A = this chain, B = another copy of it.
Amino acid sequence: MTVPSASRRDRKKAATRQAIADAALQLFLERGYDQVSIRDIADAADVSTATVFKHFSGKEALVFDQDEDRESQLIAAVRQRPSGQSIPDALRHHILDTWPSIEAHPQAAEFTNLVNSTPVLRAYAERMWTRYTDSLSAVIADEFGVDHDNLACVALARFVLEIPVLARGRQDRRAAVEAIFDILTHGWEPPSKPPAQ
């Protein structure tokens, strides 16, 4: 995945970080998030608690280890879209392309279950997405040459970033993503009543 790292120092640093993240995930899956303390994790990874916080900003961040550069990917998807493609289309494709690979790694089911069953983790996951609102809306506004806080651009960014949250847990996620983009681009319409069964 990542380059074997330049220096020995960097390699060791990465190894400690990984050891902590691994220990944390294993313990969380075993006992549940709230039943694991930072001290437990530090002990399992054979480091001090201070070291844990040198590598991770907080307890929740231990769970969402790999999700870092989604922000830059998001911005790139807008900036480097094929000419002629609309921004909503570019975002739609980006979400459909990159998302399944994230969900496809082993333990995905257990992991999803862990997050969904722990309120503080649900909240953190939602915030992870919406935190990008500012930078995404700034890029969109840039593409149109309007102010960075242009309302339409901020709204689009925010709504698009809600889509993964809304589609999470659906049986057919791709269809859900498409359907929500449809609402955004063509306007909301009342749902059709299903044939009474």
Q: Which residues of A contact B (CB under 8 A)?
A: 86-88, 123, 126-127, 130, 141, 144-147, 150-156, 158-159, 162, 165-166, 170, 176, 179-180, 183-191, 193-194
Residues of B within 8 A of A176 (CB): 151
| Other-chain residue from B151, B153, B180, B185 in contact with A187 (beta carbon distance below 8 A) | B185
Q: A151-B180, A180-B151 are in contact. Are A191 and B127 (CB under 8 A)?
A: no
In the complex, the answer to whether A155 meets B146 with C-beta atoms within 8 Å is no
The reply to whether A146 and B179 form a contact with Cβ atoms under 8 Å apart is no
A154 touches B183 (CB 8 A): no
A186 partner residues in chain B, CB cutoff 8 A: 187
Do A179 and B152 touch across chains, with their CB atoms under 8 A apart? yes
Return the chain B residue nearest A147 by Cβ: B194
Chain B residues positioned under 8 Å from A141 (CB to CB): 191
When distances are taken between beta carbons in the complex, the residues of chain B under 8 Å from A155 are 166, 179-180, 183, 188
